[in-house]
Structure 1
Amino acid sequence: MSTPDTPVAAESDRAAFRSGSVDEQSRTRLAEGGLVYRRTSVDGEDFAPWLQSVARGFQDGERSDEHIASARERSAYRRLTGVYDPAAPVSEAPVATIASWLGELTVPGHAALPSCAISAVTVAPTHRRRGIARAMLEGELRSAHAAGVPVAMLTVSESPLYGRYGFAPAAASASWRIETRRAAWIGPRPDGRVDFIPRQRLRELAPGVHDRVRLRVAGEIDVPGSHWDRFAGTEPTAEKAGDKRAIQYTDPSGEVRGLALYTVRENHDDFTKATVNVAYLLADGDDAYAALWRFLLELDLVAEVHADELSVDEPLRWMIADQRAATVTVRDHQYVRILDVTAALEARRYGAPGLLALDVADSLGFTAGRYLLEVGPDGRGSVSAWDGPLPAGAVEVALGVAELSAVYLGGVSVATLVSAGRVSASDPGAASRVLGWHTAPRLSIWY
């Protein structure tokens, strides 16, 4: 059970999850097709072929020895698994890959919940339609469920693939393209200062600032250390790292409250119309947010500012004089899959008191059942089994685990899913008020 402002994934739990064996059911299923399903060691000789297969799966180039050494050093936190074909010409290279680790997902109410983060899912085009992806994903979910992890999460390159496993987009992201001359800053002009800093300094500061703010917004996760090197370009194999420029905002007391990374792409036809790409912006408080965005929008010789992985409800929209100066594109981003209804629902806080009777369907069997969620005036919920008739005053909601996962962070309302034909509810408005939250969820990275 998580409590507000308290990280919950102990290192012993993370280590136990990393060292756990592969799922026996998936191993047997793949073996029947002549395939070997096994863990891959970060320190072993099988790591390099595993990494090459991941690169191939994402249409990347072959990894050099330097890339492999750097990736090996940065992968110790992950559980790596491969599917191998002994009959393949290069049998030491897996024909499919998956990686996972035990992380923390922020949920409504400034709480963190242990979650199985999944990444590096690939299947070679030579081995499609053999049930490999299904075996790997179901195996990883069974392993997480057996370890007592209440939620799984992932960001995806192909969004249609994961709904069949109970995942749903739970936190959307927004991409912004801002015409700086039209935007005109009308937001706050906080005291403090913005300064350039070395990228290495940003790499040192970012984990601490992120840990101060990540529990404030549902959908954010604890960021593995190696990701900060990738953002800052401080890993040995980083390409064009020198193009990244780092800035910090310090408040009047001298405390660092915000960080940003950006690159500039020149317009060789008109040097007054460069484009700034904001790679990452991290703000601890409203002043840091305003100061960093004002700096970026008022850069000289810049016509456009681009930024991705922003919230669908950014305050920035109300800090510029012409909202039409911003073209905003929204897409699915953070996917969630509940594995333990009681643990997940009791971890978060709720938008209104009420009693919900939830009839949950789950084709994989982890969460199927009937539950009563009772939320008190303080926003805390308790879950019990729903046996017998509908309790007096309860709102009945029938939905699949994907739909329950979609509403979990407050990113979509029950009423919307009822209108979409995805959920049935006796009072969609009341259910939406209970399960809703006052701020939009977001995830500021890919993983």
Structure 2
Amino acid sequence: MTDLDTSFHDAPLDAELSAQLAAQRLDVRRVDDASRAEVDAWLDAVSRGFLDGERNDTQRQAFFDRGAYRRKLGVFDADAPHPEVPVATFASWGTRLTVPGGAATACAISSVTVAPTHRRRGLLRTLMAGELRTAAAAGFAVAVLTVSESGIYGRFGFAPAASAAHWRIDVRRAGWRGPDAPEAGRIDFITREEGRALAEALHDRVRAATPGEIDMPGGHWDRFFGTRPDAEKAEALRVVQYRSPAGAVEGLALYRVAENHDDFAASTIDLDLLLAATDAAYSGLWRFFLSMDLIGTIRAGELSVDEPLWWMIADQRAATITVRDHQYVRVLDPAAALEARCYAVADEIVLEIDDPLGIATGPVVLRTEPDGTARVLDAGAAGDDPLRVRLGVAELSAILLGGVSPSTLARAGRLHTDDPSRVTRLFAGTQAPSLGFWY
């Protein structure tokens, strides 16, 4: 962890958060990462909140061994039959969010639950507001999360900033129109353990070039590759790698096959992960899967809404694509967030930001330079008669990665300015943002 990550992990609880819960005779505290009993009870509450079954000892130990990087909060009710099990949970940790041309410090949020017995008491709002204030005070530019219920987080200033496409491909119909040259490299099967060893460095290359991506959270690689003790059906996983003519591993794919017992030539591939650091690796891996024998359907999720694959298959109607909200972003520090990215044009505008939690409220001047860099200044530094943009922190968060046009938000009544096209040119991105996993 970086110094910022560590200081946030160990930061004291927000005083307003503690006071509001104490008024309900509830106690909020950080879970002790060194206490297996406390972590087990917290994990049980998370499992219950996401409608999962009870964890077994192997699963609990695996989480305990890999989850210390998370700042874990629990809300406890002393009058409950099992007061050691929290009635609400919250987890967060420091990470880096890739933005166009750069990266912003980010507080990632997960494991947000409230027990059905304690609903409608404001526990989620109190926890979220308190931890966002703590993250902002620690120095994070943004907060990020993926959600199971998409209607909850807009009231806290979050906005869907990177959508995910889910593909279902009819292989027999799709064909191939992409590059054919096999001399571009070779594909080989490797073990799950070998794939796990390669994945982290390869993902770092992909992440740095893809707006919307974050560092892979601790424990996720072992979960993907089935290399942790609590892995289920790991034997069904297969791994292939792509190597360049020079011998460098530039791509990796993790998949499983579901046989069709009525037609063995129409089995299904579920592509769990495809990492490609080069165009050659991308086309080589997709060509491999689309030409595999006995496969009738390929399913793949968490893809970009602008996949090059769309232009590599001969029949685009062979692909059924569903797009959903995925990576949510919430600006905490407008100056840090806006200065982290690059811009396509030189300009100066005033952003009048409204934040329901008061964290990022206020007018700021965004001044961009011909080289793409930016500075955020106090409102008094604006030139004569500047273009003003009135928007909420959610709308600012939505346009940060370039995944939605300010003109679109203006037409939707979510952003107000005299010249939406000018703002759109400023925030335009050259690559659709995406995030390849859930956390």
TM-score band w.r.t. shorter chain: over 0.9
Instruction: Give distance in 1, aligned partners of 2:199 and 2:251.
Output: 9
Deviation at 1:392, TM superposition (A): 3.7
Alignment of 1:309-324 (within 5 A): 309-324=302-317
Match of 2:422 among 430, 438, 442: 430
| Distance in 2, Cα, partners of 1:99 & 1:208 | 26
- Tell me by how many angstroms 1:394 deviates: 3.0
Letter aligned with residue 234 of structure 1 = T
The corresponding residue for 2:148 is 157
Structure-1 separation of matches of 2:207 and 2:304: 14
Paired residue type of 1:313? D
Q: How many percent of aligned residue pairs carry the same amino acid?
A: 53
Is 1:299 paired with 2:312?
no
SS in 2 for 1:222: coil
Instruction: List per-residue Cα deviations over 1:86-113 (Å, max 9, x = no partner).
Output: 000011000010100000100100x221
Q: What residue in structure 2 maps to residue 94 of structure 1? A: 86
Aligned residue in 2 for 1:207: 200
Once the two structures are TM-superposed, the CA of residue 242 in structure 1 deviates from its matched residue by: 0.7
- Superposed CA offset, 1:293-329 (max 9, x none): 1111111111110000000000000000011111111
The Cα offsets for residues 171-211 of structure 1, whole Å up to 9 and x where unpaired, read as 00000001011111110134211111000111000001111
1:224 Cα offset (Å): 2.5
Count of residue pairs brought into register by the alignment: 436
Aligned partner letter, 2:178: G
Contact 2:252 2:276 survives alignment (8 Å): yes
1:23-38 to structure 2, matched below 5 A, reads 23-38=14-29
In 1, Cα distance between equivalents of 2:430 and 2:151: 28
The answer to whether 1:245 aligns with 2:238 is yes
Match of 2:71 among 54, 79, 86: 79
- Contact persistence 1:98–1:122 (CA under 8 A): yes
Structure 1 distance, partners of 2:380, 2:128, is 32
Partner of 1:69: 61
Is 1:439 the counterpart of 2:423? The answer is no
Q: Which moved more, 1:391-400 or 1:192-201?
A: 391-400
- For residue 46 of structure 1, give the secondary structure of its aligned residue in structure 2: helix
Q: Distance in 2 between matches of 1:373 and 1:12?
A: 28
Give the 5 Å matches for 1:283-362.
283-362=276-355
**SS at the partner of 1:415?**
helix
Give the Å deviation of 1:140. 1.0
How far residue 12 of structure 1 moved from its aligned partner, in angstroms, is 2.2
Amino acid at match of 1:302: I
Structure 1 position 139, deviation (Å): 1.2
Q: Residue type matched to 2:25 in 1?
A: G
Match of 1:7 in 2: none
Report Cα offsets for 1:361-409 as digits up to 9, x if no partner. 0111111111111111111111111139x73463221000000000000
1:186 aligned onto 2:177 = yes
Equivalent-residue separation in structure 2 for 1:93 and 1:373 (angstroms): 47
TM (normalized to structure 2)?
0.98
With over 3 angstroms needed to count, the CA separation of the structure-2 counterparts of 1:245 and 1:127, relative to structure 1, is same
Q: Distance in 2 between matches of 1:364 and 1:225?
A: 30
Name structure 1 gaps, 5 residues minimum: 1-9
Whether the aligned pair in 1 keeps the contact of 2:4 and 2:139 (CA below 8 Å) is no
Q: Distance in 2 between matches of 1:282 and 1:381?
A: 31
Matched-pair contact (CA < 8 Å) for 1:357–1:397: yes
Map 1:133-172 to 2 at 5 A. 133-172=124-163
C-alpha distance in structure 1 between counterparts of 2:197 and 2:114, whole Å: 36
CA contact (8 A) 2:26 2:75 kept: yes
Q: TM-score, normalised by structure 1?
A: 0.96
CA distance in 1, matches of 2:305, 2:147: 18
Match of 1:4 in 2: none
2:239–2:254 contact (8 Å) kept in structure 1? yes
Distance in 1 of aligned mates of 2:385 and 2:270: 52
How far 1:42 sits from its partner (Å)?
A: 2.1
Select the residue among 127, 147, 154 that pairs with 2:118: 127
* 8 Å contact kept, 2:398–2:404: yes
Shift in alpha-carbon separation, 1:189–1:225, aligned structure 2, 3 A? farther
- Is contact 2:45–2:89 with CA below 8 Å preserved after alignment? yes
Give the partner amino acid of 1:48. Answer: D
TM-superposed CA distance for 1:213, in Å, is 2.1
SS of residue matched to 1:43: coil
Mapped partners of 1:256, 1:210: distance in 2: 12
Cα contact 2:67–2:218 (8 A) shared by 1: no
In 2: Cα distance, 1:322 partner to 1:353 partner: 41
* 8 Å Cα contact 1:355/1:393 also seen in 2: no
Measured at CA, do residues 176 and 327 of structure 1 come closer, stay the same or move farther in structure 2, by a change above 3 Å? same
Query: Is residue 50–residue 93 contact of structure 1 (8 Å, CA) maintained in 2?
Result: yes
Counterparts of 1:296 and 1:264 in 2: how far apart (Å)? 11
- Tell me the distance in 2 between the aligned counterparts of 1:13 and 1:232: 29
Residue 282 of structure 1 deviates from its aligned partner by 0.3
